[in-house]
Amino acid sequence: MTSSSAVYKIGTRSSNLALFQARQTVAEFARRFPGLAFEFVPLDSPGDRDRKTDLRQSPADFFTRDLDNAVRSGTLDCAVHSAKDVPDPVSEGLDWVWLPWRADPRDALVVRQGTSVADLPKAPRIGVSSERRAAYCTEHFPEGVQRNLRGNIEERLRQLDAGDVDLIVMAAAALVRLDLSARISELIPLAEMPVPEGQGRLCLTFRAGDPTFLRLRALFTTAVRFVGAGIGAAENATMAAVSALQTCDICFHDSLMDQDLLDHLPSQARPIYVGKRAGAHYRQQTDINTLLTDAARKGYRVVRLKGGDPAVFGRLAEELEALGELNIPYRVVPGLSSLNVLSTGSGILLTRRGGANGFTVLTPRKAGGGMADISAAERSRYPVVAYMSVKACGDVCEQLVKDGWSESTPAAMVFGVGSGQEFAVRGTLLDLPNQVAETSTDLPGLLVTGAEAAREPLRCGPLRGQRVLLTCSEAILGKASREVVDRGGVPVPLPMLRLVPTEALRGTMARLGEFDWLVVTSPSSVRILMADLLAAGTDLRRLPKIATCGGGTSAELQQYGITPDLCPDYDFGATALLDEFGALVPEAASVLRVRSNKAGPALADQLRGARHRVEECIAYTTEPITHDRLPE
């Protein structure tokens, strides 16, 4: 974001926990947005003043009302809350986003200092503040006596230590943030007590439509993918569709698809059914729009999986508009529709040389389920799409005008459809032919005529539809493309480097049993290494112990079901790896260091300096890629 002379006021409640959360947010904003200035302003809310009302009977905005009013009035620019305290839906006139920094979501059992849960009396007095925690305590401490507990974190702990209660249940995140993690007696597994979705998360609220915070929020959300599931069997889904499913957190899916597609979801991803059939809508469209926008604002990677192609009778427009109003980026991943697959088994060809030069596609259904008008007069209002029409653009437009179409009818020629070079030339039946003739490109084009041809795509997110040239290596091209799409851009791939496995790699891998440790420090090395091992049929259970540095390298290994034996979590450089390796492996060990020809021998030399026997293997080299033509 660009620099500004304004100082943005962030509201917060006045408890120590809330102040910590506000300071953390201001510090993160200062680091991420050095051109903007922020300060926090403490305010109370009803829940801070009223210490008697049982939280189980309190209003939804008990801890946000005063801050909500101050943001709406302009006294504050935004406010930071514990996400679980924010009403659902948020108060009228406000918008929101969950911030990406998070803490452990689990609840904790807390007893008096110097004691343990095992020391509790048979019928402990338990302080509770929610139905969820009360239900847990009833199940696990059936003879316990529960009482309503109010106050901030420190006040609750004082009540515990004073002997008012023997046990309290509270969010572990609150204790950790206040540097009170030593007070955690036991962490409660999520399987035993599920937590509110927002526990451990922070939520930023701001005035609806505020342009600064709409832009800021776009940096914390990723593009929603509208994915075509294809039609019929799961194998009719595209590679792009499968890739989107494999990397999502939430998948909102329809019924007109092969349910086996959901097997591509990660184990932690949530599939949510929102299907519709004629006369039977499991979810109303407005509800689906809310589900999509809420999930995106919570920072989840969202897939909206639609049967067939999402842009063909898929209610895509309504869902895109809901995202566009909130400046949330999106990407449409096309899919095979029943129209594409029709001829595979039926033998019905929709076009035939010397026979049919085109076809009409429509639905006899209209909104609400009634029958639509499909008369010739009505059909004449539909958009017309002409293939192979770049050089024939003038003739086609002229014929349509002669057939009664107005010269002012919108028309567009879309070049390079589906590629990173796609662009559209827009005009009318009168002026489009001249514009196309003046366009210098040899990309193929589709001519679209009718009102829809005038519509521009919704440009959302930080990149707002800008094309981004990616010159990275082929190995990280997929990840780089996802990042561009997530920010609302259009990736234009032009990889300049290729990773080429070396001849030496195979021979070295055949001797893996000679080594105690394998040191791999880049995701690319992991991919090259694993491709060789799998091609050779290597039993991965017999690999040496593995040391890595960097979360990306560890994550790449875990794609193959392998967890590294050593991965420093406080520094992703070689220094931390050497420190922890020395502590874990005090005796001289046989080490194989796998790297590229560009990485250099420094790490291996330092391991040798620690008296380890180190062999280096250059697993791959980087070679330049030449391109006959550059993107337009």
- The helices-and-strands tally (H runs, E runs) of the chain is 20, 28
- Map residue 303 onto helix, strand or coil: strand
Widest Cα–Cα separation across the chain: 93
Rounded Cα distance, 300 and 203, in Å: 14
- Map residue 457 onto helix, strand or coil: coil
Cβ 617 vs Cβ 592: under 8 Å: yes
Rounded Cα distance, 351 and 374, in Å: 21
Catalytic: which of 50, 287, 388, 579? 388
413 is catalytic: no
Rounded Cα distance, 557 and 177, in Å: 32
Reference 432, options 446, 417, 416, 418; nearest CA is 446
Reference 38, options 16, 12, 61; nearest CA is 12
Q: Are strands 78-82 and 167-171 parallel, antiparallel or unpaired?
A: unpaired
Stated length of the chain = 632
Catalytic: which of 77, 166, 254, 532? 254
479 is catalytic: no
Rounded Cα distance, 472 and 258, in Å: 36
DSSP state at residue 105: -
- DSSP labels for 139-206? HHSTT-EEEE--S-HHHHHHHHHTTS-SEEEEEHHHHHHTT-GGG--EEPPTTTS---TTTTEEEEEE
Catalytic: which of 104, 164, 193, 276? 276
Q: Quick check: bond before 89 cis, omega within 30?
A: yes
50 is catalytic: no
Catalytic residues: 254, 276, 388
